[in-house]
Chains A and B, each alone.
Chain A
């Protein structure tokens, strides 16, 4: 049995071979693309999960910081109010050192003057009597 190819058969065979090869390549490329897409999707999903967890963690830490700052501000406000109360009460409870010294010294000077005056009066009475 002998096989004969004429030109038309040959051309057809060549075209068939090329198309078969092309189809094969196409299938491989499509499968490769699908695999790639799947891998990427998986990776993106994982990334999203990780970033969500990170976001949640960050949010919790920020909340903690926020509440700490709020408590701190409250404490400062309390301290400030107590200081203001102290300042307001101070003049009711205390006399300035300088005021005390001034008042006391003036009083003592007046007493000295009074003593001198009394002494003079006594001397004058003695002198008049004699």
Chain B
């Protein structure tokens, strides 16, 4: 039995939390502060840097459109693929801890 990778679990769960929050924030999107407050309800020690890393990852996967505004705030919005993943329409590739559809 191999060791559980807690760091991986944490970052993948964080990515799912971001998708979940942005799905609720549709159609406008949300600033990172709001996403961070959701993330901190699950992981009280979640940092803004950690969150930005995961947001950037999701941006690279084209699930989220991240607008890095010149005033320093990041504004994020789900893309079409992001919506499909959040709504369980398409399969989720590894890297995001999307729970199995249990309902």
Contact partners of A102 in chain B: CB under 8 A: 21, 34, 37-38, 41
- A112 on the interface (CB 8 Å rule)? yes
Interface string of B90-103 (1 = CB under 8 A from A): 00000000011011
Q: What interface size band does chain B fall in?
A: 10 to 19
- B83 on the interface (CB 8 Å rule)? no
Interface string of A22-44 (1 = CB under 8 A from B): 00000000000000000000000
Contact partners of B34 in chain A: CB under 8 A: 98, 101-102
CB of B28 within 8 A of CB of A118, answer: no
**Shortest CB distance A128–B (Å):** 17
- A75 on the interface (CB 8 Å rule)? no
Interface string of B29-54 (1 = CB under 8 A from A): 01000100110011000000000000
Contact partners of B28 in chain A: CB under 8 A: 97
- A105 on the interface (CB 8 Å rule)? yes
Report the bound CA distance from A62 to B42 in whole Å. 69
List 15 other contacts, CB 8 Å, given A105-B17, A118-B102: A97-B25, A98-B34, A102-B38, A104-B24, A105-B21, A105-B24, A106-B38, A106-B41, A106-B42, A109-B17, A109-B42, A112-B16, A112-B20, A115-B100, A119-B100
